């Protein structure tokens, strides 16, 4: 059993990670700015925010893995990058950080370019760019502390929840697409991918993509 804290645990990605981790018998703390009415049995829900790292650390002090699943959108635009850097710097040496990024930082082919530079929707560019900034900060870190950064497929979100299949593909740094060129993963299968990486780490201090 691993002690896991999911920051943004009531959001789309976070809630699926919480559910999958609890189902596998892990000890899970879900941190969000408000406690939801509907909760996953077995998870502990607390009010907190990545914008207050000192208080957050008190709430998750026993966590062995911390998942940052806060999207830089809405009133969080322009705040997530700096807050994630502060959190990572404050975590203990033996605490692993996992970050849920966006598809925009994925490569469209080996060697590039990135999806954000390949006809990416203008209205989502600011969010994608901030997520890429989070990744760049982690890549520049020289502390040696462990982290991973996971890019979901392009078709990932509440608009296309899909079903749990128990399957996904790891594309390395390249966006995962099917034979028709579509990029998609359900919320439940994304949760599986994240918890798989927690249980059996394959990506140390690097980013990777998942999809079908």
Task: Let me know how many helices (H) and strands (E) the chain has, helices first.
Answer: 5, 8
Whole-number pLDDT of residue 64 = 98
Full domain range(s) for residue 37: 3-211
CB 208 within 8 A of CB 173: yes
Q: Around 17, how many Cα atoms within 13 Å sit in the side-chain half-sphere?
A: 33
Whole-number pLDDT of residue 119 = 86
Whole-number pLDDT of residue 131 = 97
150: three-class secondary structure by DSSP? strand
Largest Cα–Cα distance of the chain, in whole Å? 47
Whole-number pLDDT of residue 112 = 87
Whole-number pLDDT of residue 160 = 86
| For residues 138-153, average pLDDT | 98
The pLDDT tens digits of the residues spanning 44-75 come to: 999 999 999 999 999 999 999 999 999 998 89
Burial of 202 from C-beta contacts in 10 A (0-12 / 13-18 / 19+): exposed
CATH of the domain at 205: 3.40.50.720
Considering its fold, how many domains does the chain have in total? 1
The pLDDT tens digits of the residues spanning 84-134 come to: 999 999 999 999 999 999 999 999 999 989 999 998 999 899 999 999 999
């Amino acid at each position: 059993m691993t002690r896991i804290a999911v920051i943004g645990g009531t959001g789309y990605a976070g809630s699926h990670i919480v559910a999958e981790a609890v189902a596998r018998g892990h000890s899970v703390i879900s941190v969000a700015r408000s406690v939801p009415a509907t909760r996953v049995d077995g998870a502990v829900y607390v009010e907190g925010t990545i914008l207050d790292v000192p208080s957050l650390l008190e709430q998750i002090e026993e966590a062995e893995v911390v998942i940052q699943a806060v999207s830089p959108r809405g009133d969080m635009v322009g705040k997530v990058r700096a807050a994630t850097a502060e959190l990572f710097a404050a975590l203990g040496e033996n605490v692993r950080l996992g970050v849920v990024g966006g598809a925009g930082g994925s490569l469209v082919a080996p060697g590039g370019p990135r999806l954000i530079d390949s006809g990416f929707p203008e209205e989502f560019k600011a969010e994608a760019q901030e997520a890429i900034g989070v990744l760049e900060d982690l890549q520049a870190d020289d502390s040696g502390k462990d982290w991973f950064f996971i890019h979901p497929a392009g078709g990932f979100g509440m608009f296309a929840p899909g079903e749990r299949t128990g399957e996904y593909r790891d594309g390395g740094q390249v966006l995962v697409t099917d034979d028709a060129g579509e990029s998609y993963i359900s919320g439940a299968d994304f949760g599986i991918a994240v918890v798989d990486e927690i249980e059996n780490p394959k990506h140390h201090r690097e980013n990777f993509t998942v999809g079908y």
